[in-house]
A = this chain, B = another copy of it.
Amino acid sequence: MEGNVAQRGLPMLEPVRHERADAARNRATILAAAEALVAEHGAQCVTMDQVARAAGVGKGTLFRHFGDRCGLMRALLDERERGLQEGFIRGPAPLGPGAPARERLIAFGERMLEHIEVQGDLLVAAENGAPGERLRHSVYAAYRAHVTALLGESDYEGDVDYLADVLLGTLVSELVLFQRRERGMSQAQLKHCWGELVRTMLPDG
Chain A interface residues (CB < 8 Å from chain B):
44, 124, 128, 131-132, 134-136, 158-159, 161-163, 165-166, 169-170, 172, 174-175, 177-179, 182-183, 185, 189-190, 193, 196-197, 200-201
Residues on B with C-beta less than 8 A from A159 are: 189, 193, 196
Residues on B with C-beta less than 8 A from A197 are: 158, 162-163, 166
Residues on B with C-beta less than 8 A from A134 are: 174
Residue pair B158, A165 in contact (C-beta under 8 Å): no
A-B contact pairs, 9 of them (CB 8 A): A128-B131, A131-B177, A136-B178, A158-B200, A159-B189, A162-B190, A162-B193, A166-B166, A169-B175
Distance in angstroms from A159 CB to nearest chain B CB is 5
Residues on B with C-beta less than 8 A from A169 are: 166, 169-170, 172, 175
Distance in angstroms from A13 CB to nearest chain B CB is 23
Distance in angstroms from A114 CB to nearest chain B CB is 18
Residue pair A182, B136 in contact (C-beta under 8 Å): yes
Residue from A185, A193, A201 whose CB has the most chain B CB atoms within 10 Å: A193
**10 nearest interchain CB pairs?**
A169-B169, A162-B193, A135-B178, A124-B131, A158-B196, A166-B170, A132-B178, A159-B193, A131-B174, A169-B170
Residue from A131, A166, A182 whose CB has the most chain B CB atoms within 10 Å: A131
Closest B residue to A165 by CB, please name it: B175
CA distance in complex: A166, B193 (Å):
10
CA distance in complex: A200, B121 (Å):
33
CA distance in complex: A161, B183 (Å):
10
Residues on B with C-beta less than 8 A from A196 are: 158-159
Distance in angstroms from A162 CB to nearest chain B CB is 4
Residue from A162, A174, A201 whose CB has the most chain B CB atoms within 10 Å: A162
CA distance in complex: A165, B175 (Å):
8
Distance in angstroms from A117 CB to nearest chain B CB is 16
